Structure 1
């Protein structure tokens, strides 16, 4: 493992890497505070173009910021190394750094943190009235369906081809519906797998204890050192043979994601994970192509080789195969046409043309910052005194339950659930008591102000879930605004909550029965929609929470923390318990 680096501060490294893109491509700008690279608003741009926002953790360069430019993406948001950017960073990118008049497509890779945070930003865009679509790219077959479970395939090197095609279609004037549909369609015809000789080392961190022994290779290893299907002793020829088998074996029900006929055409992408020398990468490309033609009678119509999505200086590579199916978009917009289309992004192979340098503008870009809570208004009305009374009763109950939630979470989790809920409840209570300006009777505005508190105070997976849910709630309420004063009745809330549950399901695989806070949330929302009775709905949430005592966890830390014998039949899910206490408090105050 290579542990020597020129940079010892990973945060400084990320910022300097992002800043370099504005030096190598003068059509780009950088919002350093939010780590957003975006196309300059004063650079040439076709009117009415759909905006594409991507991003993810740093350490995968040139992905994702290297794919911002004409013909590709409009903005990319960077997290720290191997960590998702926050929803607030992504929101600023999608609302303030790109044009939104023709809609926004948000395209991260399929990792839990990315899905939650990019998904939360997508809901904030919708709550702001912006036409927005979201899709998490998932092309990896290294883990397989059984092990991947509800999370699904990971997003790795092949996703670059999806960014390229959707970017080209948007540049050609494709609608938001067409660009979003293409992302889904291309993903269905895309498979990738990576393998590596060694784990990677993050600058500024200690040396990990896990090494891949000399002579062995990790088949299917992920882009953050995640394990693949297996480790084995193999030379390059054997290694490539195994990888192609996992990509194309028609009888493998666990990994068979595409079918093929002798007439099908493919694009092959060989991606350097960062540490393979150019000469070895070239040799790898030759070996993959040779076996693909010889063993599978597939002669790719395009062979693309290079460094597109890395794992820092990972000593490995990935193979991606894209089946060129008919996308129904007509002449000049086939999948191959879109891959061949020019693009001005330093991470893609096309060079930046002289015209872009001629049109460069050195003046600084004025950064626009929006505040959804201040800028959003509606005609849905609810007396602020009622909000304070009802919401305050629920918050008070959550705060009082902190010790029980913490005790439960110490047994089945990592012990921080109670403190996190209490911290969020206290911050919302402070908003109710001391808001400046004071809360109005505009219920959508009030919800958005609460969202801001939740996003700033509550962290972790539960914080992201609550923030996504509340953003979707604001959207669901806003959708019922007819332009004339309308009281926010239980029926109005019920419709909005049903919308929120549907929206949340896009970003988390959790369902009732998985032993999560969903076991309290869904029964409450569904019962309220059916009965419009808050007390009956809160009782359903309590019943759902009680049922978690006997459930085996399938998501969250409870899957691998502690012994089930210690808590099965005794301890409810901490998140569900805390939520049901809040909902019970609401019901008692109505």
Structure 2
């Protein structure tokens, strides 16, 4: 592993790497402001559009996989960090991806990707778009016990899901068919990685060195973001691959038996370079892996892909993925193997770019100037629901609740210093202050007439936008997803957008329940996991009775119940010490404080 780079500025590195893609493949266009790469003619194609993405540093995934027959568009974050939900929303709803057949979003199972892509999906759905999201988790390096509710990480096998789904989309399949086969592919696949050391992230002063991997050792199960693996071996390549295949395929390993191997069924083997292994060594690794698959498991893959598909910067390691070619049930040549073999014109895949495409280079729109880039999404005004709130009293109530959150910042920060990274209180305060600024702009009556109203769904959606932009981290994404889904729930509760009807407690209750159900799709957090959900769930449940004061009390009790509760999700899981036994969860305290402020 080298800590020296030709481009050490991480921002410049990502921007310049993206800028190369439309020059290397003239069929794609770059929106540099939003880090979106997309097929130039995607807005005129009559097919399901396929979107993926994630943090940079995994190239050629996913920007170089944009091309005819594979991805329609990709959204990039900074190195090892998810793109924002707003970037993804602009991709889904804008010129980068459009059409009547819908959008299939495929992401790897990492919290930031699931939350931010999920938030964008919910926002797109709220505007009437047809969108489906598939989350891929194929890493056997994370067993059931370690993965818990989060589940397996997504690694290189995701590329096979993208390729098969992309070919099916190009064939004219429906959104339901593309989503079904993408899930089927993900469910019949298992992967694991091994490396000689961790990678080095450009721009970081600290030297990650060997990442705890001693000379002569190999780490099994290392993640693609420098996450530690499950074990260190002082081993040769043959014994390393033997261990990797056992973790992938041994049915007696109840912690990792995710995959039902059947030698009588056809399989595809992907041997992926994690970034720092020579081509010479990759071929030697392929020979050893194929030999052991045949001798130990009686498996002879019908297709073998060996190369660089999903990296971890310069990590000197590789991963193995085995895909069982399950029956798609579609017929007409739409089996997994044909879809995998179908042509794809993307520089990250093996098919070459045709001369006809190269001839487009002179007229291709491949600018990297944000001022001249094609816009990827129109700025839309939130649609009204017809449900109204009185401006004066609503502003008074929300201001009281938000000021209570701001006042609680020192206490929440103290709690989070003991059990987290100390930023929960500051994040909540920053979000509350930003919402107060918004309220002063949009909830200012034009007269002393106390009968003035505002549309409830518009207000909630405006607040969601402020939360998304002002609060970072996992809690910000959770709040933004919840609020966007709440706005959608209010709209679905309204029979008409033309009539003006005051919001009732029953309407709020139904919308809150719908919002909580949507949030639950993107996080496994439930009461008892020591998160903000411990206060949110009981509040929403109690609201079914229509008594806000009683619901606020339930939220308070839920937050208090987290004191002494061992966390199963969130950063607290990784923080040492026994601080969790002494204080309640900071996020839950924040929720309880806000809803308590709603009742004075």
Q: Do the structures match in fold with TM over 0.5?
A: yes
Deviation at 1:382, TM superposition (A): 2.1
Deviation at 1:218, TM superposition (A): 0.5
Structure 2 gap ranges (5+): 368-372, 446-451
Change (3 A) 1:212 1:494: same
What does residue range 530-549 of structure 1 map to in structure 2 within 5 Å? 531-549=545-563
What does residue range 462-481 of structure 1 map to in structure 2 within 5 Å? 462-481=475-494
- Aligned residue in 1 for 2:193: 194
- Aligned residue in 2 for 1:574: 586
Identify which of 58, 63, 66 aligns with 1:65: 63
Deviation at 1:173, TM superposition (A): 1.2
Contact 1:199–1:314 (CA under 8 A) maintained in structure 2: yes
SS in 1 for 2:30: strand
1:56 and 2:22 correspond: no
In the alignment, the residues of structure 1 paired with residue 566 and residue 277 of structure 2 have an alpha-carbon distance, to the nearest angstrom, of 43
What does residue range 254-293 of structure 1 map to in structure 2 within 5 Å? 254-293=255-294
- Aligned residue in 2 for 1:13: 13
Change (3 A) 1:567 1:358: closer
Deviates most, 21-30 or 358-367: 358-367
Deviation at 1:212, TM superposition (A): 1.6
1:512 and 2:511 correspond: no
Deviates most, 230-239 or 533-542: 533-542
Contact 1:62–1:308 (CA under 8 A) maintained in structure 2: yes
Contact 2:194–2:219 (CA under 8 A) maintained in structure 1: yes
- Aligned residue in 2 for 1:366: 374
- Aligned residue in 2 for 1:146: 145
Deviation at 1:379, TM superposition (A): 2.1
Render the CA deviation track for 1:312-340: whole Å, top value 9, x for unaligned. Answer: 11111111000011122222111111111
| Two-structure CA RMSD over aligned residues (Å) | 1.8
Render the CA deviation track for 1:151-205: whole Å, top value 9, x for unaligned. Answer: 1111111110000011111111111111111121111100001101111111122
SS in 1 for 2:549: helix
- Aligned residue in 1 for 2:474: 461
In the alignment, the residues of structure 2 paired with residue 403 and residue 464 of structure 1 have an alpha-carbon distance, to the nearest angstrom, of 22
Task: Give TM-score scaled by structure 1 length.
Answer: 0.95
Contact 1:378–1:443 (CA under 8 A) maintained in structure 2: yes
Render the CA deviation track for 1:205-242: whole Å, top value 9, x for unaligned. Answer: 23125342111100111112212220011111111111
- Aligned residue in 1 for 2:22: 22
Render the CA deviation track for 1:29-60: whole Å, top value 9, x for unaligned. Answer: 1111111111113x69532x111111111111
- Aligned residue in 2 for 1:131: 130
- Aligned residue in 1 for 2:370: none
- Aligned residue in 2 for 1:161: 160
Identify which of 449, 452, 469 aligns with 2:462: 449
What does residue range 85-484 of structure 1 map to in structure 2 within 5 Å? 85-96=83-94, 97-206=96-205, 207-209=207-209, 210-360=211-361, 361-363=363-365, 366-372=374-380, 374-435=381-442, 441-483=454-496, 484=498
Render the CA deviation track for 1:116-143: whole Å, top value 9, x for unaligned. Answer: 1111111111122211111221111012
Render the CA deviation track for 1:88-122: whole Å, top value 9, x for unaligned. Answer: 11111111121142221221111111111111111
Deviates most, 489-498 or 549-558: 549-558
- Aligned residue in 1 for 2:597: 585
Contact 2:412–2:424 (CA under 8 A) maintained in structure 1: yes
Contact 2:43–2:98 (CA under 8 A) maintained in structure 1: no
Contact 1:100–1:130 (CA under 8 A) maintained in structure 2: no
Render the CA deviation track for 1:238-282: whole Å, top value 9, x for unaligned. Answer: 111111111111111111112133321101111111111112111
> How many residues end up aligned between the 2 structures?
582
Contact 2:566–2:580 (CA under 8 A) maintained in structure 1: no
In the alignment, the residues of structure 2 paired with residue 75 and residue 464 of structure 1 have an alpha-carbon distance, to the nearest angstrom, of 22
In the alignment, the residues of structure 2 paired with residue 251 and residue 230 of structure 1 have an alpha-carbon distance, to the nearest angstrom, of 18
Contact 2:43–2:97 (CA under 8 A) maintained in structure 1: no
Deviates most, 354-363 or 247-256: 354-363
Deviation at 1:400, TM superposition (A): 2.0
Task: Give TM-score scaled by structure 2 length.
Answer: 0.93
In the alignment, the residues of structure 1 paired with residue 333 and residue 233 of structure 2 have an alpha-carbon distance, to the nearest angstrom, of 45
Render the CA deviation track for 1:420-465: whole Å, top value 9, x for unaligned. Answer: 1111111111111123998962222111111111011111111111
Deviation at 1:381, TM superposition (A): 2.3
Structure 1 gap ranges (5+): none
Deviation at 1:414, TM superposition (A): 2.3
In the alignment, the residues of structure 2 paired with residue 461 and residue 362 of structure 1 have an alpha-carbon distance, to the nearest angstrom, of 39
In the alignment, the residues of structure 2 paired with residue 4 and residue 402 of structure 1 have an alpha-carbon distance, to the nearest angstrom, of 41
SS in 2 for 1:550: coil
In the alignment, the residues of structure 2 paired with residue 17 and residue 116 of structure 1 have an alpha-carbon distance, to the nearest angstrom, of 25
1:552 and 2:566 correspond: yes
In the alignment, the residues of structure 2 paired with residue 567 and residue 26 of structure 1 have an alpha-carbon distance, to the nearest angstrom, of 54
Change (3 A) 1:69 1:567: closer
